[in-house]
Amino acid sequence: MNTVECRSDSTFAERPLSLTWQGCRYEIAEIFARWRGPAERGFRVKTTDGQAFEITYREIPDEWHVQPI
């Protein structure tokens, strides 16, 4: 299962801190793009080991989608 740990101050999923993809946990070092769409919030991130991922939180059905890029 893909999961994302995030910081949520005034709204949910403001800043992703780590993600789990294919059973491995990765710390996020940098967010290099972010967007907000209808019922979703997305980020392009780089992990501490240099991998890049696109992560999207979909409000309905309340789940994260994690995809390497």
What confidence score (pLDDT) does residue 27 get?
A: 97
Q: Hey, where are the domains in the chain?
A: 3-68
pTM of the model: 0.87
15 pLDDT higher than 80: yes
Over range 33-52, report the average pLDDT. 94
Residues 24, 14: Cα–Cα separation, whole Å = 22
Residues 13, 50: Cα–Cα separation, whole Å = 22
pLDDT band at 1 (very low <50, low <70, confident <90, very high): low
Average pLDDT, the chain: 90
Over range 33-38, report the average pLDDT. 92
